[in-house]
Each structure stands twice: as structure tokens, then as C-alpha cells.
Structure 1
Amino acid sequence: MSRDAERDRYVDFLRAWAIVLVVLGHWVITALVRSPDGGITAPELLATLPWTQWLTLGFQIMPLFFLAGGHAAGGSWARARLAGGTAAGWVGGRALRLLLPAGAYSALVLCAVGICSVVGVDPGTLALVGWAMAMQFWFLPVYLLLSALTPALHSLHRRWGLCVPAAMAAVALVADALVVTAHTPYVGLINYVLVWGVAYQLGFCWHDGLLTGRRVMAPAMAGCGAVAFAALIAFGPFPVSLILVTGQDPGNTNPPSAAMLAWVVAQTGLCLVAAPAVRRLLARERVWHVVRPVGGASMTLYLWHMLPVLVVAAAFYLTGLAPEPALGSASWWALRVPWLLVLCTVLVGVVVALRPLERGLALLHERTRPTAVPGRPWFLWLGVATTVLALSRFAVRGFAPDGRIPVLPTLGLLVGTALVTATGWRSRVTPNPRDRLEEAA
């Protein structure tokens, strides 16, 4: 197997591994309690049992997803640029790959919210369910924005290399200092792009060999990042939890903090240290046959992994069939094992049931993906901006704030996705002469 093939397998493994740990992490910390009136509440495990915040060190794996995403995007854009592709054409294809499944998921969830609202489901319950189904949406606008900025970020990378993530990290530290000391939360919003952007930019550097040219680089990143993280939580104002905990101020994720930035560097270094051993495993076809399907279904798993929680809640908690030992007791932790097994079984069924939808979305992507020179590229940039705002709103308030469908984010996602799709549709219906020459070549 060639070195490039091994590297691609490892990148796919990182994305699959990140998704699996995100899913398991959300399931482990989800606690359901049936109240005396028959309703269901979801106490916050990380707040109720503070020691469980240490578990987030194992489950907060999203830096690797951005690292792998930057690695793949950097290679993809470099190839497209050398082939004569445009930024609008490349960004349009990447945006559709994310927006089509996210739009289909949102449409189905919003339809369910509307039906439940009409039949009189309690608004509080509906708001909780709507939040649970959108809790993973924070990732989508950040990743979509970084994808849209890829041509510009990669241009900076080609000129300045490792100086780019270093500069982004420096600005992120200044912004975080302002959030912590001057209490300027809106300044911290830039860190969603800067902190996760550091991981994304390091993916470019990894792809081009800037992180692997010296043996000391990876261990130094892992060690320095880990020491900085430990110092920031031991002597600084930051908590250990790498997942948002109600009442913690400052936190590490909303917005991403200096401690999260240190964790990004540490995980990147650890990923590079582990690469040779994991690549040897992935070279075995039996291992790869297990990893590959997970990577291929990563978007489906990420979007839909909270639906099994609702199914199990309705089947076992609303009916009173589920045993309910005290939260955090030995019996409660022992029941996490069957809890996870049942959720995995339901999720497999969901993934199988969604296969026709996935095939339809893949066909739609091929038919509407912008060509190298799409028609009216301003449709694309307006559509991307609109969907970033809409997805951000869903991430913050859920699909059913106050028990009702949020009209503006819904319209924003619909219009934005339509604009991005129309860019590709117009470019294929009325192809540009340059496109005809490229296709003929």
C-alpha cells in the first residue's frame, strides 16, 4: 500500500474515531429520570456529579475532527486549484456535502416539532426535545465557515506555513483574555473560528509534511499542550470540563478557551505520535473493513445519534419499565452498559432506515454540485452566510424554543440551502464555455 493511501486511511480513521467518541460521550452523560407526574427530566450529570467532568478529557475529541478535516480539505483544494478550479466551485461542493444531510435532518425534525405542537405536546417537553436534537449543531456552522474560508486560509498556509496557526493562536489568547478579564463575551465568538481554525490549519501543515519533518515536533506538541492545559486548569480560571457545564464561568467551549486551545495542540501531537502504529493496524484489510463503514456514515451518525435516546425514553421511561437507581450510584453506572447497547442497536436501525434518503441526497449532490466555474457565485456566498447564521441559531436555541418552530432560522436554512443548490443547478443547466472545454479535456 502506498504512503498516500495509508495516510488517507488514517485521516478517515480519525474522523470515524472522533464521531464514535462524540456519540458515546453524549450517551454516557445523558441521564433520564421519570418524575412522579409521568414526565421525563434530564438532570445534567456533569453538574450533579462534578467528578465526571474529568471524563470529558477522553470524550472531547473534536480537535481531531477539525485536524482531519483540514488535512482532507487542504489536499482537495490544492488538487482543484492545480486543475483550474475556482474557490466558488470548490466551496460550493463542500458546502452542499454538509448542507444537504443537515437540511434533510432539520426538515424532518421540524416537521415532527410542528406535528407535536399541533396535537398539544407540552411546550416545555417539546423545547427540551428540540434542544436535544440540536445539541450537536454547534459544529456545523463552524465547519461550514472554515470550509468557505479554505481557499484564503490555504493561500496563507502556502506562504507562511506554521506561522499561520501560531498567529491564530496568539489572537485567540488575546480574545480569551478579554472574555475572562473584561467580560466581553461577544469578542469570544471569534474563537470559534480561531481555536478550531488552529486545528484545521494544522491539518494543512500535516498534509504538507510541516509537522512530520522532525521527529521531535509531535512529542513536543503533545507534551507542551498537555502541560499548558494542566497549568491553565490548576492555576488559571478554567475548569477541567471540556464540555459545557451549566453555571461554569468561564467555560472551555462557549466560546473555546485558552485551555481548549492547549488541548487542540496536545491532541494534534498525540495523533501524530500514534500515527505509525495505527497505520500498521489500518493496513490490515479486516480492520479497515470495520473502520470504513463508520467513516462513510459519520455525518448520519453525528446528526441522528440523539434520536435513539428519545426512542428509548418513550419505550422504557415513559412506560415506567426502565429501572431507575440513584443517579451516580454503582447500580446506575452498571446500567450504562445495557443503556449503551440498546442505543447502539437502535442507532444501527436508524442508519439502515436512512439509507434510501442518503442515496437520494448523494444523487442530488451530484446533480447540483457546482462546476469548476459556477454561474452567479454570489448566490453561493450569500447562501453560505445565511446557512451559517441559521445553523448557529439552531445550535443556541434548539429546534423548538418555547415549544414552537423557530420561523427565522427555518427560513434562513431553507433559503440558504436553496441558494447554494441553485448555484450548481444553474451552472449545469447553462454550462460555461470554459466548463465545456474542461469536460472535453
Structure 2
Amino acid sequence: MSRDRYVDFLRAWAIVLVVLGHWLITALVREPGGQITAPELLAAVPWTQWLTLAFQIMPLFFLAGGHAASGSWSRARAAGATASGWLGRRALRLLLPTGVYSGLVLLAVGVCSVAGVDADTLQLVGWAMAMQFWFLPVYLLLSALTPALHAAHRRWGLVVPSAAGGVALGVDALVVTAHAPYVGLLDYVLVWGVAYQLGFCWRDGLLTGRRLVPLTMAAGGAVAFAALVALGPFPVSLILVTGQTPSNTNPPSAAMLAWVVAQVGLCLLVAPAVRRLLDHERVWRLVRPAGAASMTLYLWHMLPVLAVAAAFYLTGLAPEPTLGSAAWWGLRAPWLLVLGVVLAGVVSGLRPLERGLAVLYERTSPDAGLRRAWPLWLGLAMNVTALGRFAVRGFAPDGRFPVLPATGLALGTALVMLTRWTAAHRLGQPEAEQTPSRV
């Protein structure tokens, strides 16, 4: 089956909007003592919370991810691959660039910590470099659950995301009324899992047979979101705002679930028109590079902010109008332009590293089953735990090097790689060497 350009476009579009959204709301201030702080725009200028309706686009990334995973797992299953073999290959595609990024950032944190960099500054930088990590453990968990979720999809179809949505609403009710934050962790998998599971349904034509289905999803989800914000306890912001309770993202709320449904419906409604546009090679040549570099863009997009902060704010060269003023908004255009130029340089500089990771990936990820899958699952569990920790506390909590999460990420990634490397080595041996002789 040929690749669906629209699915690739959705992933690229989601990543680009996430990058632009983070850059747009990032505000920097040079204090009289010379230190740099980052006031929270969404809290300081409340009307900007409405902007998050345009920039909270991650439902589409999970939708596209589900669509792609459905096709990948279906082909692997038909070819006789095991669930652990498929998962190991898919997980490495995420873990290799994430591991390199995290390793380099952690190395910088360690050097700065030894050099005596101010703890508050180090904590802020460590948070900025990990703020996007919430997505990674959730996506790894959904990938691990894909064989089971897809089996349920083949049997029950649209009942599965509907049931998951119903459970998510029950969980959110407990979070809001009983203040049970740990129960709310389930909604990270349930709410984003609805978008992921709808990707299965989309690929199999369950959402596109009749135009009424996506139209109902778009309209119904939008009305439900408006009602939950206007009449219920939920804020309009679809990005976390400090002190705002309940939040729509921490954990994903009923309002976020409504937004997922609305966004998926709208995505399906515009699909025919966008596909026609993507059929033009000139348009596709513009879209394809963003899709190919999506993981790099996602991981590294806050590095230009730190570079610009050092070059213009630490030196006092950057003008600093009042946060949220007309002059401040006027400077957003050159701000975004400068960050875009710096990120383009970062992406270009990382190409040799990406080529090396691609070679390593191919050598350690053959389409083979695993005889012993437990190291893979242990490694994935360690990675999910470590990445979740980084997402919550950053790379330098309290200005210190995070020894346990860093160790967990290194060991977890090594376990996954070792498992796949062993499978690759066994696959390359003659059959007589693959089966040990019995004495």
C-alpha cells in the first residue's frame, strides 16, 4: 500500500504548530541582576488562552500515529511477526533520537552543575529542554498496547474508542470531584488513546463512508467543548496554565476529549481538499522535508530559544516592552523569524548524526521475532518511567543532575537496543548456528 500523503502531512502540520505555539508563548525577561526569567504569558495575559485552540494540535498527531501503526502492525502480523518484534522496531525509531538528545542535554547539565551555574537558571533551562517530553511516554505506551488495541478494533470497531471515551469521562469526574490526581493518570492513555484508536477506524473506512460521520464529530465535539467551558468547571486553555484547576491537559480532561473528537472530525472533513493539494509535486516538496525532520524539530525546537536568550537577552541587546503590549506582539514576528533561522541551522547540523542513527536503526531492527521478550518490556518500562519523570520535573530538578531518571533512560534504551541487536545477530547467522546443539 502506498503511503498516504495526508497522514504524513498531519504529522508534519502537528509538529510545526507545536513548535510555533511554544515559541509564540515563550516570553523572556532580563532581571536587574542579569538573570533571565520566563514569565507565563497564558497566566499574565489571560485572553491569550484562546490562542491554544489553534495550537493544541496533538490530537492529529495521535490520529496519524494510530493510522500508521494500524497499517504497520497489520502488515507485520500478516508476515508472521511477533508483537514484541514489531514493538521493538517501532520503539527504537523513537528512542534512538530521544536518547541522543537526552544524553547531550544531560551532559550539558552535568558540566554546568560542576561549573557552578546558578541552580535556578539551570532548573529553568532543564525544564525548557524537557517541556515537550510528556508526549513520549504516552506514545510509547500506546505503541506497546497496539497489538491488543488493534485486536479489539478488528472485533468491535467504533465501540472501542467510544468505550474508552466513556471511561475517560468517568475518570475525569473522579479527578474533578474527588481530587484523585493519580487516577487521572489513566486519562493520558484513555483520552489520547481515543485519537489513536480513531486512527485505526479511519484507516479501515469506518469514519469516512458517509460525510455525516465526520460532520457529526466536528459539530458535536465543538458544541460539547463549548458547553463544558461555558457551563462546566473547565478552562478554555488547552495548554497547562500554572494554578489553573482543573486543567485540560494535566491530566487530559473531558473538555480535551471533546476537542479531540471535534478536531478529528474537522480533519476528516477537509481531507479530500488537502489531498488534492498534496497531489501537486511542488506542494509536496514543501511538506515532505518537515515530515522527514519532524522528530528532530520536536526534540530540538527549544534549543534556539536558549541560543537567542544567551545572544540577545543576557547581553541586554533585546528590547523588552511590557509583556502583552502592542509593541511586544509586534516583536513576535522577528522573534519567530530568528528562531526559525537558528532551528534550520540546528537541523542542518544534525543531519550527519541522523544518518548515523538511521544506519544504527537498520542494523538493530530487523523484522524478526524475539526469543526472550522480557528485556524489551523491562527496557520500555524503564524508558516510560524516566521520560515521564523528565516531563514532570525537567532535566535539572532543583538545579541538580537527575541521577535516577538519567540512569533509567540509559539502561532502558540499552536493553531495547541489546534485545534488537541480539535478534539482528541471530537473524544473520546460518540456521545451524542459530539453534544451539543439545548434549
The one-letter code matched in structure 2 to 1:333 is W
SS in structure 2 of the partner of residue 143 of structure 1: helix
Q: Distance in 2 between matches of 1:434 and 1:353?
A: 40
Residues 368 and 427 of structure 2 are in contact (CA less than 8 Å); yes or no, is this contact kept in structure 1? no
Q: Distance in 2 between matches of 1:432 and 1:117?
A: 44
Q: Does 1:236 align with 2:249?
A: no
Report if aligned partners of 1:375, 1:426 keep a CA contact under 8 Å in 2.
no
Gaps of 5+ in 2: 433-439
- Equivalent of 2:13, from 17, 22, 29? 17
How far apart in 1 are the matches of 2:149 and 2:21? 31
Superposed displacement of residue 435, structure 1: 8.8
Q: Which amino acid aligns with 2:258?
A: A
Q: Could you tell me how far 1:428 is from its partner in structure 2?
A: 1.7
Which residue in 2 is equivalent to 1:395?
Answer: 391
Could you tell me how far apart the structure 2 residues matched to 1:207 and 1:223 are?
22
Residue 64 of structure 1: how far off its partner (Å): 0.1
Candidates 170, 191, 195, aligned match of 2:191 = 195
Contact 2:127 2:394 in 1 (8 A): yes
1:128-139 correspondence to structure 2 within 5 Å: 128-139=124-135
Verify: 1:114 aligned to 2:110, yes or no: yes
- In structure 1, runs of 5+ residues without a counterpart are 437-441
Deviation by residue 1:53-102 (Cα, 9 ceiling, x = unmatched)? 00000000000000000000001100110011110110001100000000
Q: Residue 182 in 1 paired to residue 178 in 2?
A: yes
Question: 5 Å matches for 1:272-283?
Answer: 272-283=268-279
Alignment of 1:43 with 2:35, yes or no, is no
1:411 is aligned to 2:407:
yes
Question: Which stretches of structure 1, 4 residues or longer, exceed 4 Å deviation after superposition?
Answer: 432-436
Residue 330 of structure 1 pairs with residue 351 of structure 2: no
Give the Å deviation of 1:293: 0.5
Q: Which amino acid aligns with 2:424?
A: R
Amino acid in structure 2 at the alignment position of 1:68: A
What is the distance in 1 between the residues matched to 2:404 and 2:113?
Answer: 18
Q: Distance in 2 between matches of 1:18 and 1:232?
A: 25
Report the Cα distance in structure 1 between the residues aligned to 2:194 and 2:334, rounded to whole angstroms. Answer: 38
Distance in 2 between residues matched to 1:20 and 1:198, nearest whole Å: 22
Check the 8 A contact 2:36/2:314 in 1, yes or no. Answer: yes
- Is the aligned partner of 1:77 residue 2:69? no
Matches within 5 A, 1:40-439: 40-431=36-427
**Displacement, 1:404?**
1.3
Q: In the aligned structure 2, how far is the partner of 1:167 from the partner of 1:26?
A: 33
Give secondary structure in 1 for the equivalent of 2:134: helix
Residues 323-346 of structure 1: CA distance to partner in whole angstroms, max 9, x if unpaired?
A: 111111101000000000000000
Is residue 6–residue 278 contact of structure 2 (8 Å, CA) maintained in 1? yes
Q: How far has the Cα of 1:430 moved from its partner?
A: 2.2
For 1:253 and 1:434, locate their aligned partners in 2 and report how far apart those are by CA, in whole Å. 51
Where does residue 439 of structure 1 map in the other structure?
none
Q: Which amino acid aligns with 1:322?
A: A
Show the counterpart of 2:435. Answer: none
- TM-score of the two chains, using structure 2 as the length reference: 0.97
Structure 2 residue identity aligned to 1:313: A
Taking only aligned residues, the RMSD between alpha carbons, in angstroms, comes to 1.3
Deviation at 1:119, TM superposition (A): 1.1
TM superposition shift of 1:434: 11
Cα distance in 1 between the residues matched to 2:206 and 2:398 = 49
Q: Give the drift of 1:416.
A: 0.6
Contact 2:15 2:298 in 1 (8 A): yes
CA distance in 1, matches of 2:431, 2:369: 7
Equivalence for 2:437: none
Cα displacement (A) at 1:375: 3.5
Contact 2:368 / 2:423 at 8 angstroms: preserved in 1?
A: no
**How much does 1:403 deviate?**
1.1
- Percent identity of the aligned residues? 77
Render the CA deviation track for 1:409-441: whole Å, top value 9, x for unaligned.
Answer: 1011011101110111111222399999xxxxx
Amino acid at match of 1:160: W
Aligned mates of 1:58, 1:180 — CA distance in 2: 25
Query: Does the C-alpha gap of structure 1 residues 201 and 281 become closer, same or farther in structure 2, counting only changes over 3 Å?
Result: same
Structure 1 residues 310-367: Cα deviation after superposition (integer angstroms, max 9, x where no partner): 0000000000000111111101000000000000000000000001110111111111
Paired with 1:322 and 1:428, the residues of 2 have a C-alpha distance of 52
CA separation in 1, counterparts of 2:422 and 2:431? 13
CA distance in 1, matches of 2:29, 2:211: 51
CA contact (8 A) 1:67 1:203 kept: yes
Letter of the aligned partner of 1:367 in structure 2? R
Residues 217, 264 of structure 2: 8 Å contact kept: yes
User: Could you tell me which amino acid in structure 2 is paired with residue 154 of structure 1?
Assistant: H
Residue deviations 1:342-401 (CA, integer Å, cap 9, x gap) = 000000000000011101111111111153212321111111111000100000000001
In structure 2, relative to structure 1, the CA distance for the partners of 1:434 and 1:230 (3 Å cut) is farther
Distance 1:404 1:219 in 2: 50
Give the direction of change, closer, same or farther, for the CA distance of 1:373–1:181 in structure 2 (3 Å limit): same
